[in-house]
């Protein structure tokens, strides 16, 4: 078959990988000038490695992406580190994740177990002063229960806010999980179902992985492999319209012309699908339009000095504490500044509704707002530490899963013959990321061939 794939992110590339291996002809259309989607990066001339536009990492349990990398023969370029995560409480930062040197060197297999990250967090939580021993015990028993329950389905009938408040206690909810829910889901935070939280507990590990050279290096190597095996990748080519030809084929239109395909897989957002395929039946269109998601605003800074002197990678920040962003991630406390010409790279990131004012602010306005908060991480910080800055924004970054969300997810196969849709809105109950993008991309490829 002759197949078009819209979007050259991890999911689109993974689908193309399988389709090519099965003997099909594949063309990928990508609106931006590089492959990678939300995992794409950028690079300064003096840097050896690229930096992701939106902070990314892999977990040791990410079987879809790590298996694919092994198939590509690139496993030796995957690096795992032991970064530290902290939470802000009463003007201080307390560790919740980080190296457990007394445990993991003796039992390295532990990191591959479902919920290993939850185990690590539970150990660090013993030193968290905001909770009593009874509250820590409630946290431990509830977390253990989540790890032992094999299915998520019963959890989507209750909100995470209600379940965590009931079983872990209100103080645990208010100190740890309410700030997370508010930060990721904004006004929807009380509506997110517990299945999403269950999946988060199950999937995460304390070690975090990246690719030698950065995620863009992996995406470029992946794209080169596809091109060597016959794929055509059209960069800087947004698709304007997909329509039926009347003879069981699809026409893909761009500003550069149109082309006929037997099948088409769209891996972009639900909003883009509704725009480029206006002939979708009303009931399917309505399901797409009902899918809610948060956007992301990320300011990346190259600093002349280290910001977090204690070597923390990830700072979780409650909105109630007055920070103008959800997380401050010091990338060069995860990877050496030597890879970036001595620059110290930090992310100031936030999930926001697509109509939030930050999407209209100039980079200079956001820079002034964000820099005012950085002395809270290091009192010595001065604005002249900033050598350069970059602003990235996307309206589609974090799907919002309400109660009984599984019944609302559109099928990969659309009502239009030969048209398929695979997005991060459909990886539920799992969270968005390159791992599950690869999983759903390959699942779509299998069905495209099996149901042709």
Per-residue pLDDT tens over the stretch 277-302: 999 999 899 889 889 999 999 999 99
CB 222 within 8 A of CB 8: no
Mean pLDDT across 3-25: 98
Q: How far apart are CA 342 and CA 99, in angstroms?
A: 25
DSSP bridge partners of 26: 3
Q: How far apart are CA 293 and CA 316, in angstroms?
A: 21
pLDDT at 166 over 80: yes
If one counts every other C-beta atom within 10 angstroms of the C-beta of residue 248, the result is: 10
Q: Indicate the DSSP class of residue 45.
A: T
Instruction: Dig out the tokens for 275 from the structure.
Output: 């725009």
Q: How far apart are CA 40 and CA 31, in angstroms?
A: 13
Residue (of 45, 129, 56, 57) closest to 87 by Cα position: 129
Per-residue pLDDT tens over the stretch 225-249: 999 999 999 999 999 999 999 888 9
- DSSP, residue by residue, 202-243: HH--SSEEEETT-HHHHHHHHHHHHHHTT-EEETT--EEEEE
Residue at token pair 């016959």: 230
Confidence grade of residue 116 (pLDDT, cut at 50, 70, 90): low
Mean pLDDT across 389-410: 94
Instruction: Dig out the tokens for 442 from the structure.
Output: 């390959």
In CATH terms, is domain 2-76+212-291+409-450 a member of 3.50.50.60? yes
Share of the chain above pLDDT 90, in %: 74
- Residue 118's pLDDT is 55
pLDDT at 373 over 50: yes
Confidence grade of residue 440 (pLDDT, cut at 50, 70, 90): very high
CB 116 within 8 A of CB 61: yes
Q: Indicate the DSSP class of residue 176.
A: I
- Residue 328's pLDDT is 96
If one counts every other C-beta atom within 10 angstroms of the C-beta of residue 417, the result is: 11
- Residue 432's pLDDT is 86
φ, ψ at 159 (rounded to 5°): -80, 150
Q: How far apart are CA 377 and CA 380, in angstroms?
A: 9
- Residue 98's pLDDT is 47
Sequence-distant (≥ 6) Cβ neighbours of residue 318 within 8 angstroms:
88, 179, 182, 183
Surface-to-core class of residue 210, CB atoms within 10 Å of its CB (0-12 exposed, 13-18 middle, 19+ buried) = buried
Lowest pLDDT segment from 11-15, 20-24, 180-184: 180-184
Residue (of 401, 439, 400, 425) closest to 195 by Cα position: 401
Instruction: Dig out the tokens for 379 from the structure.
Output: 């009192």
pLDDT at 6 over 90: yes
Q: How far apart are CA 409 and CA 440, in angstroms?
A: 13
Q: How many CA atoms lie within 13 A of 186 on its CB side?
A: 17
CB 83 within 8 A of CB 334: yes
The arrangement of strands across the sheet holding 250-254 comes to 239-244, 250-254, 257-261
Residue (of 410, 405, 451) closest to 428 by Cα position: 405
Q: How many CA atoms lie within 13 A of 448 on its CB side?
A: 32
Per-residue pLDDT tens over the stretch 43-57: 999 999 999 999 989
Mean model confidence pLDDT for the chain:
91
- Residue 101's pLDDT is 42
- Residue 125's pLDDT is 67
Q: Are strands 2-6 and 25-29 parallel, antiparallel or unpaired?
A: parallel
If one counts every other C-beta atom within 10 angstroms of the C-beta of residue 89, the result is: 18
pLDDT at 217 over 60: yes
DSSP bridge partners of 371: none
Q: How many CA atoms lie within 13 A of 321 on its CB side?
A: 23
Residue at token pair 């890879």: 339
- Residue 199's pLDDT is 92
Angle between helices 194-203 and 133-148 (to 10 degrees): 90
- Residue 246's pLDDT is 85
Q: How far apart are CA 160 and CA 11, in angstroms?
A: 28
pLDDT at 102 over 70: no
Length of the chain: 452
Residue 115, CA distances (Å) to 59, 63, 150, 198, 323 in order: 11, 14, 12, 10, 29
Q: How far apart are CA 296 and CA 298, in angstroms?
A: 6
CB 302 within 8 A of CB 344: yes
- Residue 100's pLDDT is 45
Sequence-distant (≥ 6) Cβ neighbours of residue 30 within 8 angstroms:
7, 8, 12, 233, 234, 235, 236, 237
């Amino acid at each position: 078959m002759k197949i078009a794939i819209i979007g050259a992110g991890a999911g689109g590339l993974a689908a193309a990988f399988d389709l090519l291996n099965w003997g099909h002809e594949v063309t990928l259309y990508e609106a931006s000038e590089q492959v990678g989607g939300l995992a794409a990066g950028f690079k300064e001339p003096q840097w050896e490695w690229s930096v992701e536009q939106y902070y990314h990492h892999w977990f040791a349990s990410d079987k879809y992406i790590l298996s694919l990398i092994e198939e590509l023969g690139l496993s030796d370029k995957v690096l795992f580190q032991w970064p530290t995560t902290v939470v802000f409480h009463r003007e201080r930062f307390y560790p919740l994740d980080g190296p457990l040197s007394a445990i993991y060197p003796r039992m390295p297999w532990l990191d591959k177990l479902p919920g290993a990250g939850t185990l690590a967090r539970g150990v660090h939580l013993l030193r968290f002063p905001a909770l009593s021993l009874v509250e820590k015990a409630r946290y431990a028993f509830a977390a253990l229960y989540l790890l032992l329950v094999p299915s998520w389905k019963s959890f989507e009938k209750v909100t995470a806010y209600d379940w965590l408040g009931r079983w872990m206690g209100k103080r645990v909810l208010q100190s740890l999980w309410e700030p997370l829910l508010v930060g990721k889901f904004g006004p929807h935070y009380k509506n997110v179902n517990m299945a999403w939280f269950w999946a988060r507990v199950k999937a995460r590990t304390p070690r975090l992985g990246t690719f030698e050279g950065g995620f863009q290096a992996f995406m470029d190597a992946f794209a080169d492999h596809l091109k060597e095996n016959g794929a055509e990748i059209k960069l800087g080519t947004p698709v304007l319209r997909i329509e039926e030809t009347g003879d069981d084929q699809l026409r893909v239109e761009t500003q550069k012309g149109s082309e006929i395909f037997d099948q088409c897989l769209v891996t972009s957002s639900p909003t883009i699908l509704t725009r480029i395929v206006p002939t979708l039946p009303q009931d399917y269109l309505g399901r797409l339009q009902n899918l809610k998601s948060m956007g992301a605003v990320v300011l990346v800074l190259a600093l002349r000095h280290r910001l977090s002197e204690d070597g923390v990678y990830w700072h979780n920040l409650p909105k109630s504490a007055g920070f103008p962003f959800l997380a401050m991630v010091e990338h060069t406390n995860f990877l050496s500044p030597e890879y970036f010409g001595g620059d110290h790279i930090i992310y100031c990131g936030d999930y926001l509704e697509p109509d939030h004012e930050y999407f209209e602010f100039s980079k200079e306005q956001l820079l002034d707002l964000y820099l005012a908060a950085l002395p809270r991480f290091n009192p010595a910080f001065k604005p002249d530490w900033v050598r350069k800055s970059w602003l990235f924004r996307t309206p589609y970054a974090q799907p919002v899963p309400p109660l009984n969300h599984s019944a609302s997810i559109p099928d990969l196969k659309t009502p239009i013959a030969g048209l398929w849709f695979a997005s991060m809105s459909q990886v539920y109950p799992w969270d968005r990321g390159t791992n599950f993008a690869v999983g759903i991309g390959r699942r779509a490829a299998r069905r495209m061939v099996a149901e042709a």
